[in-house]
């Protein structure tokens, strides 16, 4: 299963607007994606409550995992999104 590790770039971390944008992007993907911090249990990237429960702050490394056709492209897109400061856009 392909994985990507990326540091959260948003100033407020993965909360409120950045989390909403991430979940919306993940929901449009044709493959299931999970996200986790450290050794915590992964949560579905399509779940706003799951993503918020991670408590990821700016600079926190998160790991994305996806499975299926298009998994690499899905992870590339989500990793690029998380690396940006979504609060400034």
Could you tell me if 54 and 40 are in contact, meaning their C-beta atoms sit under 8 angstroms apart? yes
Q: Is 15 a catalytic residue?
A: yes
DSSP string spanning 49-78?
HHHHHT-PPTT-EEEEEE-STTHHHHHHHH
Q: Which member of 6, 9, 15, 66 is catalytic?
A: 15
Among all residues, which ones are annotated catalytic? 15
């Amino acid at each position: 299963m392909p994985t990507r590790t990326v540091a959260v770039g948003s100033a407020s971390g993965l909360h409120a607007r950045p989390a909403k944008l991430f979940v919306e992007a993940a929901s449009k993907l044709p493959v299931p994606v999970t996200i986790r911090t450290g050794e915590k249990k992964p949560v579905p990237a399509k779940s706003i409550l799951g993503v918020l429960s991670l408590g990821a702050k700016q600079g926190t490394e998160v790991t994305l995992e996806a499975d299926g056709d298009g998994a690499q492209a899905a992870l590339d897109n989500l990793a690029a999104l998380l690396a940006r400061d979504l609060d400034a856009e």
